[in-house]
Each structure stands twice: as structure tokens, then as C-alpha cells.
Structure 1
Amino acid sequence: MENMNINSKAKHSNLSFSNRGFKEEDKRQEINKTSAGHKDNIQIASKGNWRFSFRNRVQDEATVQPKRKKLEDKQITTYRYPWDKASLKSLQIDLKAFEKLDAYAAKVNANQTVDLLVKELIRNTHSDLEKTRAIWIWICHHIEYDTEGLKDLSQVSCDPNDVLRTRKGVCAGYSSLFESMCSIAGVKCKSMSGYSKGGRYKTGQTFSGDSTHEWNMVYLEGSWHLLDSTWGAGTTSHNEPFTFKYNEFYFLTHPALFIEDHFPEENKHQLLEPCVSLKQFEKLNRKCYFYKMGLLSSWPDTVTVETVKGKVTFTLEGRHHLLFLFHLNKTETPGLMQLTEHGMKLDVYPQKTGEQILQIFAKREDSEGVYDWILDYKVICKSVDTNMKIPKCLMNPVGPSWLSEKAGLFQPSHQDPVIYTEDGCCTVSFALKGKLSIFATLDSSEIQMTSDMKHRHIFQTQRENDVEFKVRLPTSGTYVLCVNVKDPNGDTYTSQCKYVIFCTNHTVHWPQFPLVYGTWAKHYELLGPLDGILPENSNISFKLRVPDVTEVSVRGGKSSFPLSLTPQGYWEGMCSTGGNQELNVTVSFKDNPNVYNYIMQYEVGKKKQIK
């Protein structure tokens, strides 16, 4: 999508553009706030290395200024509703072609009258579109949102000359200055009043009474187009100063997208056919960043939803790989989120009844910046699904996806991110692309999992083209299996696929797998015994596949039990645990046959019970 980052005000502008709506390279500042006239922007650091930002409009202005002299609605052009998914703009423009003009307009000094400022801005323009663009860029980079004036609108002047002199204004000041400058430049423009989903907006609310916001409509190339220089200018958060942060989205925005958060007093000024009713407007819930991220659709497509048997499902589809986060009631994450090829599926299980607010955030897969707020819902929960307990230790997303494939994990044995096991055992496998360094961990929020337990209730066998994880749960409950892959360009491991494992059988009490040493190679295979604790005074059968060694033995105390190599390539044999507290498996390599290398250890005794 069209994107431009500019360091303002007017000095040392650094601009970067991309042409189409879904191609932006968005280098966001590390501290994001909201669009001018936007409310709180909050960044929260959590368990992972991510941040996200809330973008909501600053305080809506309770009552906008009275209408100035109206222009004739000449040739009101209408666009089909809903959105045709073709472009974010109502006029096809090449933002790269504006680079020189934008850079110039952003630097123009305005220590003069409105007339002289306009003359300076448009001196090198060749069309009404270029004139409009120059005026838009200047206002968005030089007029500060008047957060103090918002507290008492009766003391705020929206006269264009006053706005220019003070370099401050509320929404009516922005729109009046824009209209005046366009008039001087010979561009038809009018100011529009209506409702907006700004700082005082609450998810799912209804609208009534006076208008709360003002924006503009300009006549270009034979038709009318919408823009909002207030929301294009910058950011502010509650009780904090305004910060310039340009937002390209609100310049000539496609009317089917503009209607998401702007509802004019007169239906014809929606520029839509058919028009959207106020009731329909109240049900819309997509933020500008929903479209800037290249998303195309969301379901449910209404802001208020109800759970069915304690669950509600949301799906998003777009054009690109995206990463997502969600919060219920700002801090809770009671859900399972799966990434799809160009979107995601989210199942939410509220843990209490009543009305609750769900917020969804997203960012590009290659972005190191914040997660932007793209969507919100009012969730009405009538009953809680007590059988579905989402582990607090779970960090979504779950299940295999393009993300795990990108890391080299293919052909998963389990496509569903939820695994149910009656006996407390399961095996998860992947085909591998390339030489990967990989390991898995097991975690739970229901029992205290020591570091030893997190690793030794999983047994990994990795061959050249695949990897297998045998999992045996310490007790019944809900667990998270996390598959981690090493960054090929560094030393860090990143979680690339997670499964949620459910077991309701209270008789399950599996011991840990045997302890393996660093000499245990990834391609070795253990068929038995799998229990890390062996019974006392018993004969135990061993079977392992350990290639390229000359000898495999099981040693306990002063006793040694050599294993025999079968034609099938397995080392097999019997061993007694009598008189031993532990048993060790040793191997001898061809290049040093007289040295015994420890590869695995078993304890001997009673199995420990997990409480």
C-alpha cells in the first residue's frame, strides 16, 4: 500500500514511497502513537521480543464549527460498496512521481499569509492533483493538533489565518485551512462534518446528536475525492504532546474504506452506491492499518459477536504473510491462533461471561517494528467452555504454517494444532529442508515443570531428511509442545511451531526418558527401553540403532553387558538391573576402539510420582 515516512517539521525531510497499496516498506519509529486526532498509543513489552501499538483517534471534537458556505455538489461520483479490493485510493496515482513535490512542499517556510503560502507551494505544480498534494503535504507536516484547545473548543479559532499563524488547530481548523488553501489555488474543495470513530469512540457504540469530526472533499479529474488532513498529520496520546507522524492512508482514500471510520452528515458525501446506513457504519470495525497491511477481509464482518458454546471464531485474509497478536480485555489471551497462507484463524474462549473487548494486531513478517492495531470486536459471552483451558504459558500462533515451512519444517504429522491423547503419549514428526539444528520443549501452566522435565519428557530422533519427537506426559493436563529451530545466521533458537496437547486420563504418570549425553548423535535411534527409570532386580531388553561404532555395551557398577549387532542394523541384548543404582550405555568408535564413550544413562529404582 502507499506509504511514506517523513521526518518533519519541514527540516531534513527523509521521504520514501512505494507505488501500490500493498507494497510498502514501512520503517516505523520504535515508539508509535496515533494518527492526529488519535487517542492513546500504548506499547507493551511482553514475554517475547515484540511490541505493539494501539492506534485510535484522539478526542473527537464534541461539536464541529458551523458549516461555511457550501459548494455546489457538482458531478457527485459514486463508488461501489463494498470495497472492490483493487486499490486503497479513489484516484490512481503514482506516489513515486510525487517524491520531488512532496520534499519541496514539506520544506516550504510559511512566515507569511495564506495567499502567499499557497502561491509558493503551487509555483511548480501542473495540475489540480499536484496542487492538492502540495497543500496536503504542507498541512500534514506543519499544523500541530491542538490538544489543549480540545479541552475548551469555545476558545479555539478555526479561521484559516489563525490556524496558520499559531500552526495549531483541531479538526475544523485543519479542514478550514485546507479548504481555504485549495480555493486560493483554484481547486474545488469543501469541508464535511459527521461522525468519526475517534478517541471517545467505544467499540460497538451507537452514534447520535451533533457531529464530532470534520474533514475535506476535493474535486479532481472530474470527480470528488475524500481526505482527512487531521488524521494524516501525526500522532498524539492521552495527556501527551502531539507528534508529527505522517499517514498516507487518509489522502484520497477510497470511499469504501473511508466509511469505516468517517460517516458524513449527508449520505451523498459518502460517495458510495449504495450508501451505508448509520446502523451499518456502527457495525464496521476495521482500522486503517487493516488495509495498510494488505488485508482484504475479516469474518465476522460485524463489530459485535456472540460466542457459541463458549467459543467464537475469527478469520482474516489478505495478500501477504503477516504476524498477528490478540488481546481480550487488554491482558488476556484465551485463544488459539493459526497462521494461514495470507491471514489467520483465531478461536477465542472467554473465561468469563458478559461483554468483552477483543483487539487484534498485525505486522509484516519482515518488520522489526511494532504490531499495529487493525481490528476490534465486542464479544458477548453467554457461557464459558470449562473444558477448553488455554495454557497461560502458550505464546500464539500454534500449529504448522508458512512460518514453520520458512524455517525448514515440512509435511507435519499433525496439521491440527491441538493433540488429544488418552494414554499421555504422542509422536510428532516433520520432513526437514536443509541441515537444521532443532530441539523441542514441553511446558505446562498446571504443574511445576523443571528444566529437566521440559526436555526429558521428549525424545528426539533426527535423520537426514526428517525429525521425530516422542512425547510422554508426566501427568494428565494441558501442555505446550514447542519446536525450536536455530537461526542459520546466528546462535539463537526461535520457536517455529507449537502444539497444545490435552490428556484427561488421571492415571497417566509417565517417567522421563533416559538422559542422553553430548555424544548421543541426533541420528541415533532408541527403541527401548524408553523409561528413564528402570525397575530394580529386573532383566531389561535393550534395542538401539547406533551406526558406525564397533561396540555397544550397557554398564552398571562393575558389570558390563555387551549388545549384539543384528543384520537389520540394531544393537540388541539383555541386561540385569540387580545391585545397580544406574546403568550407562557406552559405545566404542572405529578410530579408537579401546575407549568407551558414555551416550545414555538410566536410573534404577521406583518411579517418581508427579503431584
Structure 2
Amino acid sequence: MGCGSSTDTKPTNSRETRDTVISDVDIDDNFNESSKNKNWSNSSRKSPSHTASSPALTNRRQDLSKHQTLKSTSVDEGIELEALDEEDYPPRPCRLKKSDMIQHPSMFTSIDSHVAKTPKSATTSIPELAKYLCQPAKNRLEKIRAIYQWVSRNIEYDVAGFFNLGGAQRKSCDPESVLRSRSSVCQGYADLFLFLCREARVPAKTISGYAKGYGHKPGVAITTKTDTNHAWNAVFVQNEWRLVDCTWDAGHVDGNTFHRHEGEFYFLTDPDVFINDHFPYNKTDMAVSQQWQLISPPHDLETFSKSAAIKKHAFLYNLEFMSHRDAVITVNKDVIVKFVAKGKALKNTGAHLNDMEGTSFDQCVFVEKERDKTYCVTVKPQKPGTYNLRIFGNQGEQQTLDSLVTYVIECKTVDKAVKSFPVHFGLWGAGPYYADFGFDDRVAQKALFESDSGELEIRLPFTEPVKALGKLANSEDENGDDQFLMMEQGQSELLVHVRMNRLGFYKLLIFAKKEKSASYDLALQYLINCKNPGKQYQAFPHVYPEALAGRMTLVEPKTRSLPAETKVHFRLSSSVIDTLMIGHTTFERGVNNTWDVDVVTPSSGENLCVFGRSSNTGGGSFTGLYKFDIR
């Protein structure tokens, strides 16, 4: 999307910009803009000239240009005027981390509060605004914070001009015009920040280059022939240059509407993180451009172009994508993308797979936690082609997941015998709150089980007895039911018996209830691969929750359907239930807490129910345990 120079009647001199913006349809709160054939005339020695400049601003620039010839022998953090010449402060790799400079966000509470109270009278001109913002600042860092805070919190992205909504023209990027309209694209954000810094006597630059925001297409090469598409700033503080992007911290666009957010990820960002999605490029000199990466050794453009654009939340969550660093992944049959949480573990993570037309292929994706903080995304496309793989996650209590990274999957060959996974967005295995339901940590050790016969027994250890319900669904039948699974509660574990009659993948869901809760919530979700169903299995008897509470074990019969008017042998055990009633006959518990009894089934079409009673309940009433269908 390009517009050449600004469509405003007072275009910025030598600043032809082409801008694209982020829509959170892409679940990414970044902006991405572009400037074309833009030199860095607004380096630390020159202020950009604008045809729309006011006399007051012109005079102020003349005053600044006189000061800029001065040489300062000190680069302390005082508020005295210091030189702005690039020769005084050449770009060098940063020594400090952002965490060294900003040890806690509360250090800016007073400054941020002052900025939030900016009166309208202080916004009549750039000199007046800079004067007000920096009044309480004790050092250069606080000045920069005040200016950044005001620009990123008060300038809206020019969505109407960008999309030409209703014939709207692009607003001017001239700093004074941006101050008046409170709306612009990236160039306006960057230049307003620059001029406010100059007024506050803070060395600053506007830098143009390539950014990987909305509109960036992984796999499409970025070369020196590609138009630059973004602008941001560098400021000199604590004896080194640091990087700032007010546009990307201002908010995001949803459809045709700009939405603010309170982020500050791109405020003095560490350069080794900033280079992930910002590549400075002066069309005339790559060597000089690379210096403004502020890292050693600098990245080359080819590396930047090929690398995956890691989203900001991946850095905030301290994630490392260890298996694949390039954006394009060539796949033969399948691939596993691995990443690790180097700090706090993720609460949840999930992935979407779509082809280039947007068709979902989420049934080709399986996400699991391999170890405590290592996550694996398995992709098994069912047909060759090109896909977008988007990975999401979060660490907090929020329901939404944040975008972490996007890959392009180039699938060359597929395994025609492979079956699709059941559709499930999120992490397979134990949910984040399994322990709250009484399950032991061992239930989180694996997410995938396999069966070579069609039958499977899964043991789920618990720290206290659990109240649970289950559901089993084949990948081709998303509804599922409880007919082919039966749960029993032992002394220290929940036993889940599973029967499968189809080849392929199944989804096993375990719902559990907390002690004082009235509802069952999802606690565990496992994937089962049935490699070879041995025979056509019958459904299990219907099991009531009271059978779990009574720690009942049903040895036989284990089929839901029983023949009519036939003697059937029942073998059961329990350490809690004293008396059973099968049909209309009662049976007392025998040796070793067991029952071995014969029962004649009723007529076809009726049900045969098993009830139980415990002397510990005090009431003496029977409760339902199992139900059989009579055929």
C-alpha cells in the first residue's frame, strides 16, 4: 500500500512515505510503515526542513543550530545543553540492558503522572510542550520518558488518511501539523519525538529502514532495492544511543479503527531485540546504516530478511525458538517446531495453520509440552502446499493468547497414511490448573498416548480423591461421548479405560470438580493414537459419579449391553461400599472387599441397574453406580 509523498497540501520536504498499519485481525499489535527514498537529513546535525514550518519554529531551529556547534567535554546526565553533532556521539554497540536503565516501571510514576496532566495551553507549540513535559525531569532519561509518553499516548494513527476513508487525505507529517491534528503515520510520530527532544536539548535522530509489522510477508526477500517502510528514533542517554518507536507503542488498528494500548515495549528497547523487526537502512551507505543497529557484530540484510519475526510477547515471556530461526520452513511429511520458556512457564499455548487462501488446517497441528518449559508444535500437512503457521501463548490469567511468531511452511511431500488430529486449539496434556482438582504433577508428564490394540488403560495419579467425568472423541467425530471410556478411582490414582474401534487419533477429555464447586471444568486433554484397532469393541456400562466416590472397581461384565433373561456373573470390589443391589437383589460385601455373584437379567428393552450403599453415610439409602442395557 503506497501513497508516495504525503497527500496533505503541505508535504514534508524529501519525505515520501509509504505506510502500512497493523490490524489485530492478525492478532498483532504492531504498526508497520514505510518511507521511500528518504535520506537521514534529520541526523543529529540537521533538523529536517518542512514547508509547513511556522516562523516561531524556524527561529527556534536557528537557535538550535547555533547551539549545535558547541562541543561538550562531558556526557553527564545533567540538564545543561549538550552538543548534538554526530561526531560527538558516534553510534556504538550498547553496553547497558534496558533493565539496567529502568529497574522498575514505578521509577517513572511521577513523570507519567505529570505527562497525563498536560494542559491544553502547553500544547500550542513544540517549544511550549517540551518546556512543560520536562519541567520535573531530574535527568535526561526522565526527559526522554516524558516526551515518549506524551507522543505515544496522544498521537493517533492516521487510519482515515491511510485507508482513504471517505476520500480523506493523508495528514501532514510536519511536527507542528502533527501536534495540531494529533494524528499521523510513523514519520509524523518520529519527527515530533525528534523535535521535542531537540527542544529539550536531548541528542536524537530519526532513523528510517525496514520493519516487520503488518504487511510483512515471510519468505518475500527484503533487498536494498526494496523501499524502506518505517521510521523510528534513536536518543542519546547514559552515554549511549538507545532506540525508541513511539508508533508501535501507540496502539493498534482493528478494521478501520485505531485502538490504544498501554505498551512500552519499544521504549529504549535492547538493540539485540529491536533488530528482530527493525533494520535501519540509509539508501546511500549500508555500513553507516548497520552502525545504527547498535549491536556487534551487526546483522546483514539477508539475515534480517530470512529470519522469523518474533513478536514482542515472545520477548516479554523470555521465549527462545530453538529449532527454527528462519521464517520459511521446508517440510517433508512433518516438522516439529520447538521453543523454550527461559523464565516463567506459559499458562497455555496454541497454533493455527492456514493455507494462503485462509482455509484452516488446524487438524494438522498438535501442541504439547515436552518438558517442564519446552514446547513442541508438530505439523503434519495432508497435502503439499504453502501454509502460514501462527503460534500463540500467554503467561497470565487472561483468556486470550498473544501472538508469538509466524512461520511459512513449504510442504513438499506428505504421508498419505497419516490421520488428522482432533481439532483442538491450545496445549494438549494437563491444563494449567490440574493441581487445583487434586491431580498429581505426574499427569503433566505426557500428552500423547498410543495403542496397538484399540484398548488402553491410563493411570492418573492424584494427591486427593477427584470428582471427574470423561469424554472420548475420534478426530472424525468431534462430539464424542462417554460410551467407550470408563473411569475407576483407586487409592492413589484415577484409572481410565479406553476402547477404540477406528484407526487414527482420539481426543480424551477429563473434566473435574473442585471441592466447593457446582460445575465440572476441563482439567486434562490427551491425544491418543490408535495404530491398530484389534476388533470391534462394545461400549462400557454407563458409570455414575457415585461409583468413583465409592471407589468401585467393575471387573465384569464390562459391556453396556447384556443378553435378556440370562444368568450373568458380576465381579466387583470397593473399600467404601458395603452393600450392592443389582436389580432387586441385595448382596453384602464379601472377602477382600469383593462381590462375586450371579444375576439373571430382565427382559429385553429394560435396564439393569447396580446401586450401592455405605454404612458410613448414615442414611442407609442406595445410590446409582452402573446401568446396563438389556437386548
Provide TM-score, normalisation by structure 1: 0.81
> Deviation at 1:180?
1.3
CA contact (8 A) 1:543 1:571 kept: yes
Unaligned segments of structure 1, at least 5 residues: 1-35, 44-52, 81-85, 606-611
Q: Percent identity?
A: 24
Q: Distance in 2 between matches of 1:584 and 1:414?
A: 36
Q: Does 1:431 align with 2:461?
A: yes
Q: Distance in 1 between matches of 2:174 and 2:393?
A: 39
> Deviation at 1:517?
4.7
Q: Tell me, what secondary structure is at the counterpart of 1:409?
A: coil
Q: Tell me, what secondary structure is at the counterpart of 1:242?
A: strand
> What is residue 268 of structure 2 aligned with on the other side?
252
CA contact (8 A) 1:63 1:212 kept: no
Higher relative contact order structure (alpha carbons within 8 Å, sequence separation ≥ 6): 1
> Deviation at 1:534?
2.6
Over 3 Å counting, the alpha-carbon distance change for 1:413 and 1:497 in structure 2 is closer
Alignment-mate amino acid for residue 324 of structure 2: P
Query: Greater shift after overlay, 564-573 or 283-292?
Result: 564-573
> Deviation at 1:564?
6.8
Q: Does 1:41 align with 2:24?
A: yes
Over 3 Å counting, the alpha-carbon distance change for 1:207 and 1:381 in structure 2 is same
Of residues 452, 475, 485 in structure 2, which corresponds to 1:422?
A: 452
Q: Tell me, what secondary structure is at the counterpart of 2:159?
A: coil
Alignment-mate amino acid for residue 559 of structure 2: D
Q: Distance in 1 between matches of 2:376 and 2:124?
A: 55
Q: How does 1:39-78 map to 2 (within 5 A)?
A: 39-42=22-25, 53-62=27-36, 64=38, 67-71=41-45, 72-73=86-87, 74-78=89-93
CA contact (8 A) 1:565 1:572 kept: no
Provide TM-score, normalisation by structure 2: 0.79
Once the two structures are superposed, what CA deviation does each residue of 1:105-159 show, in whole Å capped at 9, x if it has no partner?
A: 1321344211111111111111111111111111112222223444689965332
> Deviation at 1:70?
4.4
> What is residue 232 of structure 2 aligned with on the other side?
215
> What is residue 465 of structure 1 aligned with on the other side?
492
Q: Tell me, what secondary structure is at the counterpart of 2:628?
A: strand
Of residues 100, 105, 114 in structure 1, which corresponds to 2:115?
A: 105
Over 3 Å counting, the alpha-carbon distance change for 1:486 and 1:586 in structure 2 is closer
Q: Does 1:299 align with 2:273?
A: no
Unaligned segments of structure 2, at least 5 residues: 1-18, 46-85, 282-288
Q: Distance in 2 between matches of 1:390 and 1:114?
A: 60
Instruction: Note the aligned Cα RMSD (angstroms).
Output: 3.1
Q: Does 1:267 align with 2:290?
A: yes
Over 3 Å counting, the alpha-carbon distance change for 1:550 and 1:495 in structure 2 is closer
Q: Does 1:363 align with 2:394?
A: yes
Alignment-mate amino acid for residue 191 of structure 1: T
CA contact (8 A) 1:587 1:598 kept: yes
Q: How does 1:339-358 map to 2 (within 5 A)?
A: 339=369, 340-358=371-389
Q: Distance in 2 between matches of 1:544 and 1:151?
A: 71
> Deviation at 1:525?
1.4
Q: Tell me, what secondary structure is at the counterpart of 2:265?
A: helix
Q: Tell me, what secondary structure is at the counterpart of 1:552?
A: strand
Once the two structures are superposed, what CA deviation does each residue of 1:315-350 show, in whole Å capped at 9, x if it has no partner?
A: 232311221121111533221111353352111112
> Deviation at 1:518?
6.2
Q: Tell me, what secondary structure is at the counterpart of 1:601?
A: strand
CA contact (8 A) 1:140 1:246 kept: no
CA contact (8 A) 2:420 2:475 kept: no
> What is residue 16 of structure 2 aligned with on the other side?
none
> What is residue 552 of structure 2 aligned with on the other side?
524
> What is residue 250 of structure 2 aligned with on the other side?
233
> Deviation at 1:418?
2.4
Query: Greater shift after overlay, 103-112 or 572-581?
Result: 572-581
Once the two structures are superposed, what CA deviation does each residue of 1:275-313 show, in whole Å capped at 9, x if it has no partner?
A: 001111111320112112332444312211122433333
Q: Distance in 2 between matches of 1:241 and 1:577?
A: 68
CA contact (8 A) 2:279 2:304 kept: yes
> What is residue 482 of structure 1 aligned with on the other side?
509
Q: Give the structure with the larger helix fraction.
A: 2
Over 3 Å counting, the alpha-carbon distance change for 1:505 and 1:536 in structure 2 is farther
Q: How does 1:60-459 map to 2 (within 5 A)?
A: 60-62=34-36, 64=38, 67-71=41-45, 72-73=86-87, 74-79=89-94, 91-109=101-119, 110-150=122-162, 156-208=171-223, 209-238=226-255, 240-265=256-281, 266-282=289-305, 283-322=307-346, 323-329=348-354, 331-333=360-362, 334-339=364-369, 340-368=371-399, 370-400=400-430, 403-405=433-435, 407-410=437-440, 412=442, 415-447=445-477, 454-459=481-486
Once the two structures are superposed, what CA deviation does each residue of 1:72-106 show, in whole Å capped at 9, x if it has no partner?
A: 152423148xxxxx955573443211111111113
Q: Distance in 2 between matches of 1:592 and 1:267?
A: 81
Once the two structures are superposed, what CA deviation does each residue of 1:405-433 show, in whole Å capped at 9, x if it has no partner?
A: 45432264794422222322111121212
Q: Tell me, what secondary structure is at the counterpart of 1:176?
A: helix
> What is residue 15 of structure 2 aligned with on the other side?
none
Q: Distance in 2 between matches of 1:435 and 1:506?
A: 32
CA contact (8 A) 1:232 1:247 kept: yes
Once the two structures are superposed, what CA deviation does each residue of 1:479-536 show, in whole Å capped at 9, x if it has no partner?
A: 2111112245633322222222232445522112123456545311111111122345
Q: Distance in 1 between matches of 2:373 and 2:618?
A: 54
Q: Distance in 2 between matches of 1:290 and 1:469?
A: 36
Q: Does 1:511 align with 2:535?
A: no
Alignment-mate amino acid for residue 277 of structure 2: D
> Deviation at 1:160?
1.9
Total equivalences in the alignment: 547
Alignment-mate amino acid for residue 116 of structure 2: A
> What is residue 592 of structure 2 aligned with on the other side?
568
Once the two structures are superposed, what CA deviation does each residue of 1:257-290 show, in whole Å capped at 9, x if it has no partner?
A: 0001110010000001000011111113201121
Over 3 Å counting, the alpha-carbon distance change for 1:154 and 1:63 in structure 2 is farther
